Structure 1
Amino acid sequence: MPYGTKNATVASSTGTAPPPATSTTSTSTSTLSLTQQLFLADTAVDRFALLPNDNQFVFDFGNPVLKGKGGKGGDLIAANRQTFPALVGTGSGMAVGFLGPCGFNTPHVHPRGTELQVVTSGRLVTEMLPENGVFNNNMATNGRRVITNTVNAFQMTPFYQGSVHTQFNPDCTPATFVASFNSEDFGTGQVPDELFAMSPDVVSAAFGQAVDGAQVDQFKAAIPTSIAEGVEQCLKTCGIAKR
């Protein structure tokens, strides 16, 4: 009997065939997304049957419909198992970033994936903060270690799962990057948005006595000092007016 034959009937010792196999999948999938159906498929062979068109295996990062949603500084187009169902079962995801002149990708984390980022045009200034306990020269008195690099075209840098990191385009021309992830659902959490979404008392406690509850709104747009200075200088150099 060939491998992969479905519902093959084998005669029992009494000469009576067993009843037909009952499908474990609901008879109605009309309410399920394609991604959900792919998750419920019994085998990889069944998943391919749910993707009958060859173009379902191509994701277009240049699709204009996907652009213009990432903010004033650029776009980040993500291919995950929701936007690209063919990724189900691969354990992988990818994103392409387009940062305009002086564009800044605010500090964020990926809760379920490590990012390997390759700059494909232009250059990026990157910063990454590892976990608690990682200090300069392994000494707590020297403060947290912030891994800072200028990453040029066709160079790569890693951002470890859960690490806070950011990217800034210091030039007057656009920059692009490609990022791969070891997850189909890597997720993203913008640190400033998440922190300041908490109650003012929690935010005040996070900053100690340096921030009064009434001052919370003043810090909602806060970004790392080094990046802020770089943005200021870039705007002046490129003749871009502040909004």
Structure 2
Amino acid sequence: MQYTSTFAIAFLASTASAAPYNQAPGAATTLTTITTPAATPPATAPGGLTLTQQLFLADTAVDRFALLGNEAFVFDFNDPEKKQKGKGGRGGDLVVANRKTHPALVGTGSGMAVGFLGPCGFNTPHVHPRATELQIVTKGKLTVEMVPENGVFNVPGDKTSKRRVIHADVGENQMFPFYQGSVHTQFNPTCETATFIASFNAEDFGAGQVVDEVLAFQDDIVLSAFGESFDASQLAAMRKKLPASIAQGVASCIATCGGLEKIGSANGS
């Protein structure tokens, strides 16, 4: 399309008339950009909304920043009050940074956890329903295992072979990925405390302990799932002895490290 001189003059005239015009007659016309400042959400919201809820309701990321003071961006994994008391088990502790414990994560699509596994500490088989975990060992070493989805066999494509269990020993500054939805576990085979850092591609990654979830079904379902290899009375006993997510495991390790009493003292329990 070719602009005519008449069209160009009309276009420029309409642009000039739309701009603020405060100049004296004969002065050059100045175009002024007018910006409206974004509304700042209140520090507290009616109805007792949590900070995480307020951040979710904020219209823009700019508005979210207005709700967060500088100190709100720092998360202290050393704070003992942040440990998941009662969930870490006798063999260790977890400190979890998700969008509830650390609201500044809202909008990032990321989360993190730091784990402390005492001597012979065992993080029982579990899944993360909404994220893949990238775990790096920062102290000591861990023995890890992961079971992927159905159809992954020791011999690819051979349904008569056993389901594949991916096993590895992970040392300091080494990483292992646990895929979203995979059943996995970590074990500290040493007599010293091991620590790890885990990153997640979700603000609310979640966790489900597999054995605990299975045993939560009605008795007849559980017994049928295990081929009725035990009876209802044994099932009740199993439920009572069910460990927390990080338990003390593997009898040989416990014996090597001086028994439960010594290990419990080392773990602070």
* Normalised TM-score (structure 1): 0.84
Which of 54, 59, 62 is the equivalent residue of 1:37?
A: 54
Task: Please name the residue that 1:115 is paired with.
Answer: 133
Residues 57-102 of structure 1, C-alpha deviation per residue, up to 9 Å, x if partnerless?
0100110222371221100111000000000000000000000000
Instruction: Name the amino acid aligned to 1:216.
Output: L
User: Which structure is richer in relative contact order (CA contacts within 8 A, separation 6 or more)?
Assistant: 2
* 1:204 matches 2:223: yes
Q: In structure 1, how many angstroms separate the alpha carbons of the residues matched to 2:123 and 2:67?
A: 36
What does 1:114-133 align with in structure 2 at a 5 Å threshold? 114-133=132-151
Residues 211-235 of structure 1, C-alpha deviation per residue, up to 9 Å, x if partnerless?
3333213444579xxx99x711111
Q: In structure 2, how many angstroms separate the alpha carbons of the residues matched to 1:67 and 1:160?
A: 24
Task: Please name the residue that 2:96 is paired with.
Answer: 78
Aligned sequence identity (%)? 61
Residues 19-38 of structure 1, C-alpha deviation per residue, up to 9 Å, x if partnerless?
xxxx999x943421100000
What is the aligned residue count?
Answer: 222
Task: Please name the residue that 2:123 is paired with.
Answer: 105
Instruction: Name the amino acid aligned to 1:48.
Output: F
Structure 2 counterpart SS, 1:140: coil
Instruction: Name the amino acid aligned to 2:230.
Output: V
Structure 2 counterpart SS, 1:241: helix
Q: In structure 1, how many angstroms separate the alpha carbons of the residues matched to 2:60 and 2:36?
A: 10
What does 1:1-243 align with in structure 2 at a 5 Å threshold? 1=33, 5-6=37-38, 28-51=45-68, 53-67=69-83, 69=85, 70-138=88-156, 139-220=158-239, 221=241, 231-241=250-260
* Deviation of the 1:199 alpha carbon: 1.0
Q: Output the aligned Cα RMSD.
A: 2.5
Structure 2 counterpart SS, 1:234: helix
Instruction: Name the amino acid aligned to 1:72.
Output: R
Q: Which runs of 5+ in 1 are unaligned?
A: 8-22
Q: In structure 1, how many angstroms separate the alpha carbons of the residues matched to 2:82 and 2:52?
A: 19
* Deviation of the 1:2 alpha carbon: 5.6
Q: In structure 2, how many angstroms separate the alpha carbons of the residues matched to 1:28 and 1:240?
A: 53
Instruction: Select the structure of larger CA radius of gyration.
Output: 2
Q: In structure 2, how many angstroms separate the alpha carbons of the residues matched to 1:146 and 1:2?
A: 62
* Normalised TM-score (structure 2): 0.76
Distance 1:3 1:182, change over 3 A: farther
Q: In structure 2, how many angstroms separate the alpha carbons of the residues matched to 1:72 and 1:149?
A: 24
Q: Which runs of 5+ in 2 are unaligned?
A: 1-32, 265-269
Distance 1:73 1:42, change over 3 A: same
Indicate conservation of the 8 Å contact 1:68/1:74, yes or no.
Answer: no
Q: In structure 1, how many angstroms separate the alpha carbons of the residues matched to 2:84 and 2:207?
A: 18
Residues 156-177 of structure 1, C-alpha deviation per residue, up to 9 Å, x if partnerless?
0000001110000000000000
Distance 1:164 1:42, change over 3 A: same
Indicate conservation of the 8 Å contact 1:203/1:213, yes or no.
Answer: no
Distance 1:210 1:42, change over 3 A: same
Instruction: Name the amino acid aligned to 1:55.
Output: E
Q: In structure 2, how many angstroms separate the alpha carbons of the residues matched to 1:6 and 1:94?
A: 31
Task: Please name the residue that 1:20 is paired with.
Answer: none
Distance 1:2 1:185, change over 3 A: farther
